């Protein structure tokens, strides 16, 4: 078991990582907060896979434990679905003595955190992520949101959890596609800020397709440490935290244009990172050797992503709806060497469009855009 602390101005919270840790870790943090009501927010798939799992872990504690089961999938990450959490809390006559537990992947974590930020102007919540993507990305850092038809994560709030409990045994139920999607975000932290993490993953690339708990505990802990350090320095994404968006400009475009749910977030990030590395190489930030290392680690994990036709105007329109855009340009996260991400402000879509066309021709196994 490994434990990290996210240190923020005036607050901190623990991240506990390991196999077989759920009961003890969750009971400790719930007992410490002494709330009257715990609402476990999960989805239909997990409710079927692990019926009553969180309730059983909390059995014997002097707290009322209830559940709220939402439909499963990115397409349900909406204000309409979010309202079901509020409806359940109101039906239970909940107040500020309520504690929410997000038991699921990134969609459940985001919606539960957003609900916790809003209900009674703020109640505490705990993240219990069940996917690799949620372990290394959405469960850490306090960003919560729902999607809008014109933009991913366009409506949300910053809300830090009281604790994150990462039970790695849950990863055993994930299909290979979900594991690969999470692996992209894990690798990202090495690419942008910790070349030694990248070296470790490169050395153990054979373990990326396996379920060795020793490897995953180490890999997840090192990845989370990178994100925790960045968040501690820039909680509200005024500057440094934007480097965590490496690959996300194109990724969010892919998710929006292809249709929410048709492409997994991590898959889109994988394609976006390959494009961002390609752009960085074209701009001179990455030499051929480093670009090759990144490409060689990421490419075997990719599956071809297909999108509807895209022209320069649609490309610009979709990028400008991304939350990292402003004044007709966007902050594009590039690399100035492996492990050194930089934020390149003032990047116009017209500058990226021809490079995207070159990338599509050179890497057709990554992204395919239909012809009009």
Q: What is the mean pLDDT of residues 60-66?
A: 96
Regarding whether 326 and 255 lie in a shared domain, the answer is yes
257-312 pLDDT, tens per residue?
988 778 999 999 999 999 999 999 999 999 999 999 999 999 999 999 999 999 99
Q: What is the mean pLDDT of residues 105-119?
A: 97
**In the annotation, is 336 catalytic?**
no
Regarding whether 254 and 153 lie in a shared domain, the answer is no
Q: What is the mean pLDDT of residues 73-79?
A: 94
Q: Total domain count for the chain?
A: 2
- Please identify which of the residues 43, 53, 245, 267 carries the catalytic annotation: 245
Tell me the H-state helices in 74-209: 79-91, 106-118, 132-133, 176-193, 195-203
**In the annotation, is 252 catalytic?**
yes
153-181 pLDDT, tens per residue?
889 999 999 999 999 999 999 999 999 99
Please provide the average confidence, as pLDDT, over all residues in the chain.
94
**In the annotation, is 147 catalytic?**
no
What pLDDT does residue 150 have?
Answer: 81
Select from 153, 173, 193 the last residue of a domain.
Answer: 173
- Please identify which of the residues 35, 188, 252, 331 carries the catalytic annotation: 252
Regarding whether 161 and 218 lie in a shared domain, the answer is no
- Please identify which of the residues 265, 293, 324, 331 carries the catalytic annotation: 265
What pLDDT does residue 249 have?
Answer: 94
**In the annotation, is 340 catalytic?**
no
Helix axes 195-203, 213-233, angle to 10 degrees: 160
- Please identify which of the residues 35, 143, 159, 324 carries the catalytic annotation: 143
- Please identify which of the residues 227, 257, 324, 331 carries the catalytic annotation: 227
What pLDDT does residue 320 have?
Answer: 84
Print the domain residue range for 283: 176-369
**In the annotation, is 2 catalytic?**
no
- Please identify which of the residues 74, 167, 178, 237 carries the catalytic annotation: 237
- Please identify which of the residues 185, 217, 235, 267 carries the catalytic annotation: 185
Select from 147, 173, 199 the last residue of a domain.
Answer: 173
Q: Are 110 and 156 in contact (CB under 8 A)?
A: yes
- Please identify which of the residues 77, 180, 225, 241 carries the catalytic annotation: 241
What pLDDT does residue 34 have?
Answer: 85
Regarding whether 211 and 289 lie in a shared domain, the answer is yes
Regarding whether 320 and 341 lie in a shared domain, the answer is yes
- Please identify which of the residues 77, 188, 248, 293 carries the catalytic annotation: 248
Kindly state the tokens that stand for 253.
């475009």
What pLDDT does residue 152 have?
Answer: 84
Asked whether the whole model's pTM tops 0.95, one would answer no
Q: Are 342 and 280 in contact (CB under 8 A)?
A: no
Regarding whether 227 and 110 lie in a shared domain, the answer is no
Regarding whether 317 and 260 lie in a shared domain, the answer is yes
Q: Are 306 and 360 in contact (CB under 8 A)?
A: no
- Please identify which of the residues 121, 203, 361, 362 carries the catalytic annotation: 121
Handedness of CA 229, 218, 134, 280 (dihedral sign): positive
**In the annotation, is 189 catalytic?**
no
What pLDDT does residue 325 have?
Answer: 60
Regarding whether 339 and 196 lie in a shared domain, the answer is yes
**In the annotation, is 202 catalytic?**
no
Q: Are 164 and 220 in contact (CB under 8 A)?
A: no
**In the annotation, is 227 catalytic?**
yes
Strands 151-158 and 143-148, by their bridges, are antiparallel
């Amino acid at each position: 078991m490994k434990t990290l602390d996210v240190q923020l101005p005036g607050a901190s919270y623990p991240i506990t990582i390991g196999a077989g840790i759920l009961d003890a870790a969750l009971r400790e943090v719930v007992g410490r907060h002494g709330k009257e009501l715990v609402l476990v927010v999960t989805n239909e798939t997990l409710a079927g896979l692990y019926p009553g799992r969180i309730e059983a872990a909390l059995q014997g504690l002097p707290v009322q434990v209830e559940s709220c089961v939402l439909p499963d999938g990115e397409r349900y990450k909406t204000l309409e679905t979010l309202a079901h959490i509020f409806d359940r809390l109101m039906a239970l006559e909940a107040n500020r003595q309520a504690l929410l537990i997000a038991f699921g992947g990134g969609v459940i974590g985001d919606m539960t955190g957003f609900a916790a930020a809003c209900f009674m102007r703020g109640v505490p919540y705990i993240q219990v992520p069940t996917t690799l993507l949620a372990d290394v990305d959405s469960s850490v850092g306090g960003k919560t949101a729902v999607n809008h038809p014109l933009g991913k994560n366009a409506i949300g709030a910053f809300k830090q959890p009281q604790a994150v409990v990462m039970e790695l045994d849950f990863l055993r139920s994930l299909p290979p596609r979900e594991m690969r999607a999470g692996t992209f975000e894990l690798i990202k932290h090495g690419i942008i800020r910790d070349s030694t993490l990248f070296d470790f993953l490169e050395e153990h690339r054979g373990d990326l397709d396996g379920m060795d708990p020793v490897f995953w505990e180490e890999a997840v802990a090192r990845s989370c440490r990178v994100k925790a350090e960045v968040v501690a320095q820039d909680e509200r994404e005024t500057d440094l935290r934007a480097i965590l968006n490496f690959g996300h400009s194109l990724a969010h475009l892919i998710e929006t244009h292809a249709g929410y749910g048709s492409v997994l977030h991590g898959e889109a990030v994988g394609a976006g990172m390959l494009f961002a590395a390609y752009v960085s190489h074209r701009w001179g930030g990455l030499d051929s050797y480093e670009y090759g290392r990144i490409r060689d680690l990421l490419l075997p994990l990719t599956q071809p992503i297909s999108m509807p036709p895209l022209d320069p105007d649609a490309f610009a329109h979709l990028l400008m709806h991304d939350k990292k855009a402003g004044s007709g340009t966007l902050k594009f996260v590039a690399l100035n060497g492996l492990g050194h991400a930089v934020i390149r402000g003032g990047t116009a879509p017209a500058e990226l469009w021809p490079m995207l066309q070159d990338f599509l021709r050179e890497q057709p196994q990554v992204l395919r855009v239909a012809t009009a």
